[in-house]
Amino acid sequence: MHKPKDVAVITIDGPSGAGKGTISRIVAKKLGFHYLDSGALYRLLGLCSQRHHVSVTNVKSLAALAEHMDVEFKTTKSGEFTILLEGEDVTREVRTEETGALASQVAQYPEVREALLKRQRLFARAPGLVADGRDMGTVIFPDAPVKIYLTASAEERASRRYKELIAKGENVSLPALVEQVRSRDERDMTRESSPLRPAAGAINIDTSSLSIQEVTDTVLNLLTVKGFSTHS
Ligand code: DC
C-alpha cells in the first residue's frame, strides 16, 4: 500500500532546472494540496552528512542519517517555504549549487533511496499531494493518477539558473553552469538505482520556450480534464 486510498497524488518529475519546483508549488496551492520537494530531502542529507563529517561514500552511515535526520518543512503565514535541519533554518543553504551536487552524489545509493522512500510516502495526506522529483511517478507513487514529466534543454535550464544566481549577486559563469547541468543530468539519468526517466503514461511537457504562466496553464488545464477542481 503506497498511500491512503482517498489521497490523490500528482507526480511532477524531470531534470534540474526544468521548472518543477515553481510549477509544483503553484499547482499545489491551486488545488489546496500538500507539496513534497523530494530533492530537498536529498539536499538535506548532503548537508547533514557534511555537518556530521560523514563521507559521501560511506553508504551505511548515509542511510542511517537518511532514516533519522531531523528535518522539518514549514510554510510561514506569508506563504514562504522554510526548511529546518536539526532545528536550524537552512532554506538558502539547501538551494546552493554545492548542495545540489552533494545531493546528486548521495542520491545514487539504493540504501539511501530506500531509507528516504517511507519518509516521502508519508507526505501523501488528504486532500492530496503534488510530489516533485526524479522518481515520483516511477518508484515512490507509481499509482498516481496524473504523472507529468517536465523537461527543457540543458542550455535553457543553465540560463535560468544563471539569471537566478546573478539576481542574488553571485558570481557565476554560464558555460560552467551548462557543464554542471549536463554532468548532473548524466549522473541522475545513468545511475542504477531509480534513474531519472519519464514514468509510463507520463505527460511530457518541454518548457524550453514556455513561460511559467504558460506551463502552469498547460498543467492546470490537464488537471481540469482529469477531473481535478482548481481554484485561484
Ligand atoms: O530537484 P533537486 O535539484 O533539488 O534535486 C537534487 C538532487 O537530488 C538531484 O540531482 C538528484 C537527487 N534527487 C533524486 O535522486 N531523486 C529525487 N526524487 C529528487 C532529487
Give all strands (DSSP E) within the chain, no chain letters: 8-13, 34-37, 71-75, 81-85, 88-89, 128-133, 146-151, 203-206
What's the mean pLDDT in 29-39? 94
What's the pLDDT at 4? 52
Give the CATH H-level superfamily of domain 8-224. Answer: P-loop containing nucleotide triphosphate hydrolases (3.40.50.300)
Give percent of the chain with pLDDT exceeding 70: 97
Ligand 1 atom closest to the Cα of residue 40 is 4
Confidence of residue 121 (pLDDT cuts 50, 70, 90): very high
What's the pLDDT at 170? 85
Contacts by 64-72 with C-beta closer than 8 Å and gap 24+? Answer: 64/115, 66/41, 66/106, 66/112, 66/115, 66/116, 66/119, 67/115, 67/119, 69/44, 69/45, 71/41, 71/44
Confidence of residue 54 (pLDDT cuts 50, 70, 90): very high
What's the pLDDT at 80? 82
> What is the best residue among 71, 117, 123, 134 to mutate for testing ligand 1's pocket, by most ligand atoms within 8 Å of CB?
134
Measured CA distances, 58 to 46, 66, 183 (Å): 12, 12, 22
Confidence of residue 51 (pLDDT cuts 50, 70, 90): very high
Residue 36 has pLDDT above 70, yes or no: yes
What's the pLDDT at 101? 87
Confidence of residue 77 (pLDDT cuts 50, 70, 90): confident
Cα–ligand 1 centroid distance for 21 (angstroms): 11
Cα–ligand 1 centroid distance for 39 (angstroms): 4
> What is the best residue among 22, 42, 193 to mutate for testing ligand 1's pocket, by most ligand atoms within 8 Å of CB?
42
Q: Are strands 34-37 and 128-133 parallel, antiparallel or unpaired?
A: parallel
What's the mean pLDDT in 211-230? 93
What's the pLDDT at 146? 96
Q: Are 100 and 179 in contact (CB under 8 A)?
A: no
Cα–ligand 1 centroid distance for 40 (angstroms): 7
Domain range list for the chain: 8-224
Q: How many Å from the N-terminal Cα to the C-terminal Cα in the chain?
A: 32
Measured CA distances, 44 to 2, 14, 102, 193, 203 (Å): 23, 19, 9, 19, 29
What's the pLDDT at 79? 75
Ranges 55-64, 131-140, 181-190: which has the least confidence: 181-190
CB-defined site of ligand 1, < 6 Å: 16, 38-39, 42-43, 100, 103-104, 107, 133-135, 184, 188
Phi, psi of 128, rounded to the nearest 5 degrees: 175, 175
From the list 21, 22, 34, 12, the residue with the least C-alpha distance to 205 is 12
Average pLDDT of the residues of the chain: 92
Cα–ligand 1 centroid distance for 97 (angstroms): 12
Peptide bond into 15 cis (omega under 30): no
pTM of the model: 0.92
For atom 16 of ligand 1, the residue with the nearest CA is: 134
Residue 1 has pLDDT above 60, yes or no: no
What's the mean pLDDT in 22-38? 94
35 forms beta bridges with: 130
Query: In one letter, which amino acid is 163?
Result: K
Residue 13 has pLDDT above 50, yes or no: yes
Confidence of residue 96 (pLDDT cuts 50, 70, 90): confident
From the list 96, 131, 122, 183, the residue with the least C-alpha distance to 12 is 131
Q: Are 164 and 96 in contact (CB under 8 A)?
A: no
